Amino acid sequence: MLQGLTTLLEEVVTFIVVAAMVLWLSPVVGAASILPLAFAFIFIRNYNRRVKSVYEGVRRRLGTIGSFLQDRLAGIQVTQSFAREAAEEQQFATRADEFFRTSVEASRLRNSYFPVVSFFGFLNNLVMLGVGAWLIMEGSGWFSLGALIAYRGFWWRLQSPIRTIAQTSDILQRARASALRVLELLDAPVTIADRPQARCWDAGQGRVEFQDVSFSYLPGKPVLAGLSFTVAAGEFVAIAGGSGSGKSTLLNLVPRFFDTTGGSVLVDGHDVRAFTLASLRSEIGYVGQDNYLFSGTVEANLRYGRPEASQAEWEAAARAANAHDFILGLPAGYDTEVGQNGVKLSGGQRQRLSLARAFLTRPRILLLDEPTASVEPESEALIHDSILRRTREGLGTTLLVTHRVDLLRQAPRILFLEGGQLVGDGRHAELILSCPEYADAYHRWEETEEAGTGHSA
C-alpha cells in the first residue's frame, strides 16, 4: 500500500509538470489537450466512490466464508454425528454464491473502468492533433508543424500518468478494503486496560476477597449480586453451584478477564484494578474446561507461560500434574508435536498438559474451572490427585469450580452459589446439614455420577 501511495504521488507530480509545460508552450493547444484528462480525473473520482463499498463487500463476504469454514471444520464430528453434511454444504454454497456475485460485480466495474480511462487518454491525443492542425491550417503563425510534433511527444507523458494513477487508485481501493477488516479489530474499544496509575503487583500471599461484588453481561440481567467472601492465602476452596449460578464468572473476575459492575475484587487487600494486567495475570494460573494447546511440541506448550524455564523445572511441573509419564510414552517424548489444539492427544492428556503449564508459572493464585468435566475417569483421578497434592504442599491459593462429589467431600471449604448469590459457606459435612440447596444439588450430582459409573461398567 505504501508503494502504491509513492507511485501515485510520483505520477501526480509528473502530470502537473508536463501539463504546465504544454500550457506554457501554447495555452490554446495545452488547454484543449488537458480538458479531456480533467474529465478522466472526475471519472476516476466517481469510480473510487462507487467501488469502495463493492470492495468492502467482497472482503466482508470472504471473511464470513473463512469464519464459517473455521467454525464448521472445528465441529466436524458434531456435523457428522447428526448427519448434517448436506445442510452445511448448502450453507457454504449460499455464502460462496454471495461472495461470487459480489466479486463479479467488482470485476465488472473494474473491467469497464480502465477502457473508459484509456478512451479519455486517446481523446486527449485527438484533440491535441485536431486543434494543432486547425491552428496550422489557419496560418495565424501562433502554431507551427514543429510545435505540433513536439506536442505529440508530450502526449505520452500526459497519458502515462493518467493510466498509472487509474491503476494505482484501484489497487489502493482494494488495499483499503482489506485494511478495514484488520482495522475493525484493532480499533475495537478496549474495555479491560491498565489504569493510569496502575502499579505492579509484587507477588504477595495470594489472599482473595470479594466485597459486595455484582456483575452482569447484559444490562438488567445480573449474574452475580452482592457477593462477599474472603479466601485466605494458601487456602483451597471449592466453588459449587448449579448451571448459570455465576461460578465461572467469579473466577474470571480475579484476573480481570472482566471487570465488576459493582463492588470490588481484592488480592492481598488491594483492588485488582490497581495493578497492571501483566503483573496481576503473571501471578495467576488459570485452567478451564477446554484449554487451548498451540501447534508445536509438548515442551513448547509447557514453557509458553515461562519460556526461560529449565528442563528440570518443566519436568517437575509435568510430574506435579501427573503428566510426565504419559509424555515419556509419546513417540518423541517432550519433543512430540501435539498438532493444532493438541489434536494428537486425548482429552485427559490435554488437560494434564494444561495443568502442568499453569503449575510451571508457580502462580500465587490458581483458578480451576471444572478441569475434569470432560476427561476420562483415569485422567480425572490423576488431575484430582495433582490438585490436592498442591494444596497439601501449600504452594498457593486455589479456587476450584467443580461439582465432582469426590472433590467436594475432600475440600476444606466449599462456597455454594445459587442465582449469583452465596448461600452456603463451609465444609461438606456442615453444608449437608445447614444448607438445603447444597444438599439437594450434591445428591443430584452423586446420583448422576453413580449412574454414569454403572453405565460405564
pLDDT of residue 454: 45
CA-to-CA distance for 309 and 360, rounded, in angstroms? 8
Q: What pTM value is reported for the model?
A: 0.69
pLDDT at residue 266 greater than cutoff 50: yes
pLDDT of residue 25: 64
> Measuring CA to CA, how many Å separate 432 from each of 265, 382, 438?
28, 27, 7
Residue 315 CB contacts under 8 Å (≥ 6 apart), including other chains: 324, 334
Neighbours of 13 (CB within 10 A): 11
Backbone angles phi, psi at 238, to 5 degrees: -95, 140
CA-to-CA distance for 151 and 131, rounded, in angstroms? 11
pLDDT in tens, 172-221: 666 666 667 666 666 667 678 888 888 988 867 889 999 999 999 988 88
Helix (H, G, I), strand (E, B) or coil at 446: helix
Residue 28 CB contacts under 8 Å (≥ 6 apart), including other chains: 131, 135, 142, 143
- Domains of the chain plus CATH, in order, are 2-186 (1.20.1560.10), 208-283+363-456 (3.40.50.300)
pLDDT of residue 208: 95
Q: b/e for 44-69, b at 16 or more Cβ within 10 A? A: beebbeebeebbbbbbbbbeeeeebe
Q: Of 35, 4, 40, which is closest to residue 19 (Cα–Cα)?
A: 35
Helix axes 377-392, 311-320, angle to 10 degrees: 110
Facing residues of 224 across strands? 215
Percent of the chain with pLDDT over 90: 27
pLDDT of residue 457: 31
pLDDT of residue 202: 80
CA-to-CA distance for 93 and 95, rounded, in angstroms? 5
Residue that has been written with the C-alpha cell 489502493 in this structure: 172
Helix (H) or strand (E) holding 255: none
pLDDT at residue 253 greater than cutoff 90: yes
Query: Are 353 and 342 spatial neighbours (Cβ–Cβ below 8 Å)?
Result: yes
CA-to-CA distance for 157 and 169, rounded, in angstroms? 18
386 vs 8 pLDDT, higher one? 386
pLDDT at residue 154 greater than cutoff 80: no
pLDDT in tens, 105-152: 888 877 777 677 667 666 666 766 676 667 666 665 556 666 666 666
